[in-house]
Amino acid sequence: MADTCIECDVAIVGAGFAGALIANELSKTRRIKVVILEAGKGIPPNINEYMKRFYNAPAKVPESPYPPELNDADGNLRDPAKVAAGRPTVLTLSGSNWQDPKQSYFIQKGPRPFTSTYERVAGGTSHWLGTCLRFVPADFRMKDTYGKNSSQFLFPDWPKDINSQNLSCHYGRAEDELGVSADAAEQRYLDIKFPDGYIYPMPKIPGSLLDQRIGDALAHLTDDDTKFLEMGKPVTEVKVRGVPAARNSQPFRNRRACAGNTNCIPICPIQAKYDPTITLNEATNSGFTDIMPRTVASEVILENNRVSQINYIRYEGDTGSRDRGCIKAKIYIIAANAIETPRLLLMSKSGNPNINGVANSSDMVGRHLMDHPYYVAWGLLPDPAFPYRGPLITSGIGDLCDGPFRSERAAFRVDIGNEGWNFVVAGSAFGADPNVTTLDFVNGTNASGLNKKETSGRPQDRDALFGTELAFKLNNLISRQFRIGFLVEQNPDPENRVTLSSTHKDALGLPRPEISYNISNYTRSGIVAAYKMKNLIFRKLHATDFTARAADDPARFDELVDGSIVPLTYTGAGHIMGTYRMGDDPNTSVVDSNQCSHDHDNLYLVGSGTFPTSATANPTLTLAALALRTADSIVDRFNK
């Protein structure tokens, strides 16, 4: 039983993008009293603590600036069973420890690793990149567009009243709220449309030298070059377009313009990039929104098939005091991401161990877990392109993410990285580039793959340099490094799912998420197409390919490509989707088009967990647009 219970109009679990946007809309539009339960620490007065933690972290992974600490006092990774609000980290999702419950917060059942992470702090998506792409129209109608002639097609359509046209207004509001820099004329491709005269809040961020180099290389192609894309028409040019980003290209709402620190992930040191703490501050300053930090929702309670309260546990430190309480409201919103939301729903039994959790009459809660499996390749250009100038990504290739091929294989979108070989050669010994390459040529090692000479087929001694010779070598090599990444579409599979561990708990005694995950032949075929596109880009750039796949990588798989066996792999994009999807049919979905539960009319489940399909665009802008649409629906309910 809860010791104390607070009351409000709307209770929200989670202070990320969706929770923050909805709280702010309700506070400023209708003066509705909102309380947010946040599992992590509250909003910091500044980012100094985060920056200090980042500078001192031995591994500069996306989670390193943010609490809780990754390592214990002895420098070892902390046991997730001893952490009150646990989270997955990059350090525990690869190699041999991905299935070790003393290392990994997720209890991974495989057969392949799920390798995306998230935070458990207020506005816990601060380590996001900032990419704000709209879906292309076909993304909302995959079954109708590409599934008519295929009995094996596994994609559903989105609800009838969710499409690119109906979301256009909400997309615009989301772009204004997040502060997106882009050029609307450049973003009109694959039938994406904008209202007449529409302009983004800020001009686009200029492209990098590498962006320009790749654009020039792909400007003149032959049908033979691009036949593998199966676009249904000849492709003789592949455009490189600027990527819309929630990053200031000029001063905006009292935030500075991007200074090109190339550190968007894990943290923008000058806060030129939007994060949800900005909107949370607006909401709390209104006087109608309160945030309860270090408060973990533990159970959703039902009465007469409606939510009557949410129980929570408040904690002070992982081994400190625990207080139990509850919150009562008229409307309840779960905005805890696509792992933690189904976890909470499945934990909620209302005293009956035999029921299947809250909002789960369809047995769809936790199912259809999706990401964008991220295929990464890196190489060395013949001439300098000077990476590490500007944000991590300024441009990409999106024109290839829709076409008739989608009836048979996954689409992909291409990111063009501005950070050289930074994370792709990361290792526990040396960190990431440019450190790895630098230490190779100081110590005569070869972790980067660059410090290797051969004469007549026989390896010679590796370089160990200093002074002018070292500086010349590094200037020559690092200035020519580049990488590209492919966000590959993943089809929804009911066996890719989040359930509850029956044996492993966190420090609050709550079951940890159990993950079952695989990638289908449809998605693997998309990765193969991405590999072929990588080869085309490298060939047109006259680049040397240094892409390497570790033999023990649990995400590795081999494919037959043009008569040869090719080792491929993927990593997580951080785009966790699909585990409580929306739909018109309550038997095959969890929420309706307003993200309201089919089962309980005062419960909303928001975020990218409601996505029926993954598309190839980063999900944040669509997530935000849907959150604003849901806020409108809730305001209408209070106005009646």
* Token duo for residue 623: 């997530």
CA distance 412 to 614: 11
Confidence of residue 577 (pLDDT cuts 50, 70, 90): very high
CA distance 598 to 338: 18
Q: What is the pLDDT of residues 344-375, one digit of tens each?
A: 999 998 777 778 999 999 999 999 999 999 99
pLDDT cut 70: percent of the chain above it = 97
Q: Put the strands of the sheet holding 241-242 in their side by side order.
A: 241-242, 393-397, 412-417, 481-488, 374-380, 544-545
User: What number is the average pLDDT over the span 443-455?
Assistant: 81
Report all structural domains of the chain as residue ranges with CATH numbers, in order of start.
4-126+273-370+494-517+576-639 (3.50.50.60), 207-243+374-489+520-569 (no CATH)
Neighbouring-strand partners of residue 181? 202, 245
Q: Residue 30: what residue type?
A: R
Q: Residue 470: what residue type?
A: L
Q: How many CA atoms lie within 13 A of 54 on its CB side?
A: 19
CA distance 189 to 171: 16
Confidence of residue 429 (pLDDT cuts 50, 70, 90): low
CA distance 555 to 550: 10
Q: What distance lies between CA 102 and its chain's CA centroid?
A: 25
CB-count burial class (<10 Å; 0-12, 13-18, 19+) for 179: buried
CB-count burial class (<10 Å; 0-12, 13-18, 19+) for 174: buried
Q: What is the mean pLDDT of the chain?
A: 93
Q: Are 575 and 339 spatial neighbours (Cβ–Cβ below 8 Å)?
A: no
* Alpha helix stretches (DSSP H) within 179-236: 209-217, 223-226
The yes-or-no verdict on residue 122 having pLDDT over 80 is no
Helix (H, G, I), strand (E, B) or coil at 109: strand
Neighbouring-strand partners of residue 331? 10
Q: What is the pLDDT of residues 80-114, one digit of tens each?
A: 999 999 999 988 876 778 999 999 999 999 999 99
Lowest-confidence segment of 311-315, 548-552, 609-613 by average pLDDT: 548-552
Confidence of residue 123 (pLDDT cuts 50, 70, 90): low
226 φ, ψ (degrees, to nearest 5): -115, 10
CA distance 26 to 365: 27
User: What number is the average pLDDT over the span 238-242?
Assistant: 98
* Alpha helix stretches (DSSP H) within 286-350: 337-347
The yes-or-no verdict on residue 292 having pLDDT over 70 is yes
Q: Residue 316: what residue type?
A: E
Confidence of residue 286 (pLDDT cuts 50, 70, 90): very high
The confidence score (pLDDT) of residue 1 equals 45
Q: Are 134 and 621 spatial neighbours (Cβ–Cβ below 8 Å)?
A: yes
The yes-or-no verdict on residue 455 having pLDDT over 60 is no
Q: Residue 251: what residue type?
A: P
CA distance 83 to 70: 10
The yes-or-no verdict on residue 64 having pLDDT over 50 is yes
* Token duo for residue 412: 């992909």
CA distance 491 to 167: 22
The yes-or-no verdict on residue 458 having pLDDT over 90 is no
C-alpha closest to that of 517 among 106, 111, 76, 77: 111
CA distance 579 to 363: 11
Give the dihedral of Cα atoms 345, 351, 355, 356; nearest 10 deg: 20
The greatest distance separating any two alpha carbons of the chain, rounded to the nearest whole angstrom, comes to 83
Q: What is the pLDDT of residues 488-542, one digit of tens each?
A: 999 999 999 999 999 999 999 999 999 999 999 999 999 999 999 999 999 999 9
The CA-to-CA distance between both ends of the chain, in Å, stands at 34
Q: What is the pLDDT of residues 580-591, one digit of tens each?
A: 999 999 999 999
Confidence of residue 56 (pLDDT cuts 50, 70, 90): confident
The yes-or-no verdict on residue 454 having pLDDT over 60 is no
Neighbouring-strand partners of residue 112? none
* Beta-sheet strands, E only, within 316-427: 322-328, 331-334, 374-380, 393-397, 412-417
The confidence score (pLDDT) of residue 211 equals 98
Higher confidence at residue 352 or residue 121? 121
CA distance 35 to 13: 9
Q: What value does the CA radius of gyration of the chain take, rounded to a whole number of Å? A: 24
Helix (H) or strand (E) holding 557: strand 557-561
